[in-house]
Amino acid sequence: MVQINEVKDSNSAQSTRTAAHTHIKGLGLDEHGHANPIDSGFVGQTEAREGAGVIVDLIKAKKMSGKAILLAGGPATGKTAIALAISQELGPKVPFVPIVGSELYSVEVKKTEALMENFRRSIGLRIKETKEVYEGEVTELTPEEAENPLGGYGKTISHVIVGLKSAKGTKTLRLDPSIYESIQKEKVTVGDVIYIESNTGSVKRVGRSDAYATEFDLEAEEYVPLPKGDVHKKKEIVQDITLHDLDVANAKPQGGQDVLSMMGQLMKPRKTEITEKLRTEVNKVVQKYIDQGIAELIPGVLFIDEVNMLDIEIFTYLNRALEASIAPIVVLASNRGLTTVRGTEDIVSPHGIPADLLDRLLIIRTLPYSVDEIKVIIEKRSRVEKLAITAEALSLLAQQGSETSLRYALQLLTPAGVLCRALGRNEVTVEDIEESRDLFLDAKRSTAVLEQAKGYL
């Protein structure tokens, strides 16, 4: 039995994409929604942050679904950072799906299909079910070995003995080897609090028991109290999944009627198998669960960066998808001014977005930074990258940033750090910045080089 939390998508690109924003911890607003000039890793850009804060409130109040927002502003003015901060403010249970416009185009999957899939990834469903479970702190975990019934020299596991302790008592269970596998997958050890669903046998690790908390432990471990009540009991289980998870689970049904066991069968997603018809079916079931009060819909955020990469066909589809009864909030970002809409010959439009979609957007503008703001951002970033930097070097870098772009300045920081360490120093100086600037061209200088040396490429 595969557990829902095992299902990780192949979207590892999403985590690497956020690496440049590790210093951002949220929007940095006070309780009245005002942006503090420097807060949560953010510097300046207060109006845009406040606007984003309003959107977070609307999303939490569930008043935003089907709406779309555009973050518009020059390169490196913090659009992607704001979008990530929105997701941080929403908390981990609200789906946040960041994609880049060009990601929708691939040879394998139709672009509208790819968009739909991401739409459904961004819509969460919280399911509450009362289940019969065995829950407690693991006091014993012993696999019982037996001779391999098929002969040969190896031994197999015939049973596993699990001792569980709760506030009211203890129980020793003799379980099937298949359950032992899921125990191993959850990396359960003695002293953990787990529960085992009695009819599906799936195992979930809740955390480490309080009794094992020591002063040496870091925060990586979640400590939970000894479960109340009996070991064998009925328990309300809350699971957060997305509509896309359900689509995938149902594209390969393997028996089991209740939602949770349906989800237990999730396999590695294969994109081509989900049909429109299947989605309609899933929607019906979801609607039924919502009506019965078992499930609750949690519209999340679909963030489409570099929206000018989308073409007219996708835009038309997007417009329609936003009208659907179940839709996430769509946040777009663009650093383009007036450009031709992709897929058309001559329709020129702001951000390359057709007029009918533009019309529905709430637009948040991001403005260029002052030298002082750039300085503070670079300083924050240097702390994250654990680089000491002299005041003069910082000023030079900030100056550089205001002349070219903030991103260029931030990018110079890392090689400057490497250069300085190579020379056995541990503080980045003006020379390091200058050397790194000579080694790595910014866009303007690189263009100038190309123009001078026509014909060398």
Q: Interface with ligand ATP by CB under 6 A: which residues?
A: 20-21, 24, 41-45, 73, 75-81, 335, 377, 406-407, 410
Q: Parallel, antiparallel, or unpaired: how do β-strands 295-299 and 68-73 relate?
A: unpaired
Using DSSP bridges, classify how beta strands 232-242 and 295-299 pair: parallel, antiparallel or unpaired. unpaired
3-state helix, strand, coil in the chain (%, to 5): 40, 25, 35
What's the rounded Cα separation, in Å, for the pair 311 and 342? Answer: 4
Residue nearest to Mg ion (CB): 80
Min. distance of Cβ 314 from ligand ATP in angstroms? 19
The nearer residue to Mg ion, 171 or 336, going by C-beta atoms, is 336
66 or 75: CB nearest Mg ion? 75
CB of 33 to Mg ion, least distance (A): 24
Should residue 77 be labelled a site residue for Mg ion when binding is judged by CB under 5 A? Answer: no
Indicate the residue among 315 and 408 with the shorter CB distance to ligand ATP: 408
Q: Which amino acid type is present at position 74? A: G
Cα Rg of the chain (Å, integer): 27
Q: In the numeric block, which tokens belong to residue 432?
A: 């390091």
Whole-angstrom Cα distance, residue 313 to residue 337? Answer: 20
Tokens 């955390």 identify what position?
Answer: 207
Q: CB of residue 201 vs ligand ATP: minimum separation in angstroms?
A: 45
User: Which three-class secondary structure state does DSSP give residue 48?
Assistant: helix
**Closer Cβ to ligand ATP, 103 or 135, answer by number:** 103
- The residue (of 78 and 417) whose beta carbon lies closer to Mg ion is 78
Q: Does 80 engage in binding with Mg ion (CB under 5 A)?
A: yes
Does residue 208 contact residue 223 with C-beta atoms inside 8 Å?
yes
Q: Which two tokens stand for residue 251?
A: 């594209």
Q: Tell me the window of 71-79, 95-103, 107-115, 258-266 that interacts with Mg ion (CB under 5 A).
A: 71-79
∠ Cα 366 368 370 (to 5°): 135
Q: 86 or 259, CB closer to Mg ion?
A: 86
- Distance, in Å, from the CA atom of 44 to the CA atom of 367, rounded to the nearest integer, reads 9
Region from 4-12, 80-88, 165-173, 350-358 binding Mg ion, contact rule CB under 5 A = 80-88
Residue 343's beta-bridge partner residues? none
Piece of 73-81, 119-127, 142-150, 248-256 that binds Mg ion (CB under 5 A): 73-81
Q: Which of 236, 204, 207 is nearest to 132 (CA)?
A: 236
- Report the nearest approach of ligand ATP to the CB of residue 94 (Å): 20
45 binds Mg ion (CB under 5 A): no
As a whole number of angstroms, the distance between CA 278 and CA 166 comes to 42
- CB of 376 vs ligand ATP, minimal distance in Å: 8
Decide whether 19 or 107 has the Cβ nearer to ligand ATP.
Answer: 19
CA distance 45 to 80: 13
Partner whose footprint covers residue 407, from ligand ATP, Mg ion, none (CB < 5 to 8 Å by kind): ligand ATP
Minimum separation from the CB atom of position 83 to ligand ATP (A): 8
Number of residues that bind Mg ion (CB under 5 A): 2
Termini Cα distance of the chain: 57
Give the contacts of 124 (CB within 8 A, at least 6 positions apart).
93, 94, 95, 240, 241, 242, 243, 297, 298, 299, 300
Residue nearest to ligand ATP (CB): 78
Task: Identify what 77 binds: Mg ion, ligand ATP, none; CB under 5 to 8 Å per kind.
Answer: ligand ATP
Q: Quick one: which segment of 79-87, 164-172, 179-187, 391-399 binds Mg ion (CB under 5 A)?
A: 79-87
Report if residue 308 touches Mg ion, rule: CB under 5 A. Answer: no
Contact map string, positions 359 to 398, toward Mg ion, x by CB under 5 A: ----------------------------------------
Nearest approach, Cβ of residue 76 and Mg ion (Å)? 8
Cβ closest to ligand ATP, residue 102 vs residue 178: 102
Residue 308 tokens read as: 């000018």
Pairing of strands 295-299, 38-39: unpaired
Q: By C-beta, is 17 or 131 nearer to ligand ATP? A: 17
* Residue whose CB is less far from ligand ATP, 326 or 377: 377
The single residue listed with the structure tokens 């409130």 is 57
Q: Which two tokens stand for residue 377?
A: 């951002």
What is the binding site for Mg ion (CB under 5 A)? 79-80
